[in-house]
Structure 1
């Protein structure tokens, strides 16, 4: 079987070596398409591929039309909104992600952003500490659980809400389970977002919700840009000069949040999973999942139907 790794932004060399070793050990062939500059290059390369590994590369209907032999595509990472799932299903292509491989990297970034925020973005003035503060985690998946683990090291009081995770599972992890999003925001000094961008969650973090936070509240977003109702949050931050917002989302060309100097920070690009360890882990996991699919028909991590 031919496995194509198509990455406009390539994996680290160590990750490529690990992927190659996994794929070839199973008797499959690895082909690399790195740093491509035109979609036509992607379309040509995928034409005879049986399997595909991507990072942030878009797999849409046009790509799937070109991939006549494709049976499986794996996104090396947790998010998979760069794959057209309906089109994949229509083409009888299994779409998978690699959940958990980037979780610690994202969780550590949460605290890099958070410490900077509570210390006044290192402006030379007195800030505050995280010890004893209430941290709210919205969605208790792989990243959320790592955030909880690190927060306990800071001595924070940790709360969580997840519509799909039973309260007893959250409590078993030593975290306070709350009944709803609203309760999480009104209870906590800091809220960290770890929800996917779905029809239910897009634009859901709005002024009514964030406005429930107590004075000096900090909102951290290392999830997806689409979950924030940006116009409402901009208006709220203009009205409430005590609120801070730190995010791992590349800002728009006209970033209106930038006017809140000393209360807002954004990374220049999405960096949650940008560590050598996460890069290697996700790439090798993708290779192992493809091998398992071809060997045993394993679709444990399938995200389309």
Structure 2
């Protein structure tokens, strides 16, 4: 029995060692494919493995069909839109994620970027404070809950919209539930996005929503770039000099921002929400434990495909 860790963007060495300990102590062979670059190397490496651990690597139909012995894929992280769930299901492959392992890291990045933009990118001019401001959390999963926890430390008034989360859960965290998405955006000067990229959500953050935000609005995106209607975001920033955007996902039209909106946006050079030593280790080891648990005992607690 073999588990492959295939990471074009590798885990930290300490995380790899932790994964190795978990897998090999269960009597399972571990293979490692890092910085592989060419897809052909991945296609060759998956041919004889029962388990596959990945990060943001694209596991499409071609990869899944090449992995004839594959039983389980675990995405070390919360998002799993990089995996072809339909093909995995058709091939009898269980797909799992590791929810919660990166959530604090992402939440801290939200505020790292937010404070920086609120202080005008530290350019020496007078900025604004977060205390007393209204923050809207769009999707109240593990990351959203950590964002709420930190926001309360800043003294912000926190609201959340999530049709899949009971109001009682939000209230227990000291957050005000909002049942209408338009109300979230019209109420909150700051909105932090934590929605997945699905057919329902792609390009859903559009002009109609954003134009409702109060003066001095800031949109914070540590979710996926696909959820933003990028053309309409440019439109609202054109119309409203007070509107600001920060993201750890560089948009496809980043050159437009560079040309037109200097000082009103910030993008990290690559997706960095989970880029901390702690998150790296937590997600990697969780993925290893879930892979072993499935292969040895059939445990599929975090299965995301049906």
What's the TM-score bracket when you normalise by the shorter of the two chains?
A: over 0.9
1:16 partner SS: helix
Residues 240-265 of structure 1: CA deviation (Å, up to 9, x unaligned): 11111111102337531222111111
Cα separation, partners in 2 of 1:24 and 1:86, compared to 1, 3 Å: same
Tell me how far apart the structure 2 counterparts of residues 220 and 254 of structure 1 sit (CA, whole Å): 15
1:14 partner SS: helix
- Are 1:75 and 2:50 counterparts? no
1:246 partner SS: strand
Does the aligned pair in 2 maintain the 1:5–1:54 contact within 8 Å? yes
Cα separation, partners in 2 of 1:254 and 1:120, compared to 1, 3 Å: closer
Aligned counterpart, 1:304: 305
Tell me how large the CA RMSD over aligned residues is: 1.0
1:273 partner SS: coil
Aligned counterpart, 1:267: 268
Residues 109-162 of structure 1: CA deviation (Å, up to 9, x unaligned): 000010011111111110010011111100000000000000011111111110
Please report the TM-score for the alignment, with normalisation by the length of structure 1: 0.98
Aligned counterpart, 1:61: 61
Aligned counterpart, 2:90: 90
Tell me how far apart the structure 1 counterparts of residues 22 and 90 of structure 2 sit (CA, whole Å): 29
1:135 partner SS: strand
1:136-175 alignment runs, 5 A limit: 136-175=136-175
Tell me how far apart the structure 2 counterparts of residues 33 and 263 of structure 1 sit (CA, whole Å): 40
Tell me how far apart the structure 2 counterparts of residues 248 and 221 of structure 1 sit (CA, whole Å): 7
Residues 161-191 of structure 1: CA deviation (Å, up to 9, x unaligned): 1010011111111101112111111111100
Deviation at 1:40, TM superposition (A): 1.1
Aligned counterpart, 2:28: 28
Q: Which moved more, 1:27-36 or 1:102-111?
A: 27-36
Size of the aligned set, in residue pairs, is: 305
Residues 40-83 of structure 1: CA deviation (Å, up to 9, x unaligned): 11111110001000111111111111111000011111111110
Aligned counterpart, 1:105: 105
Aligned counterpart, 2:291: 290
Does the aligned pair in 2 maintain the 1:15–1:280 contact within 8 Å? yes
Tell me how far apart the structure 2 counterparts of residues 224 and 92 of structure 1 sit (CA, whole Å): 28
- List 4+ stretches of structure 1 deviating above 4 A: none
1:255 partner SS: helix
1:166-185 alignment runs, 5 A limit: 166-185=166-185
Deviation at 1:293, TM superposition (A): 0.6
Deviation at 1:37, TM superposition (A): 2.3
Does the aligned pair in 2 maintain the 1:251–1:268 contact within 8 Å? no
Q: Which moved more, 1:245-254 or 1:64-73?
A: 245-254
Deviation at 1:200, TM superposition (A): 0.8
- Are 1:9 and 2:9 counterparts? yes
2:160 partner SS: strand
1:270 partner SS: coil
- Are 1:187 and 2:187 counterparts? yes
Tell me how far apart the structure 2 counterparts of residues 68 and 267 of structure 1 sit (CA, whole Å): 38
* Runs of 5+ consecutive residues of structure 1 not aligned to the other structure: none
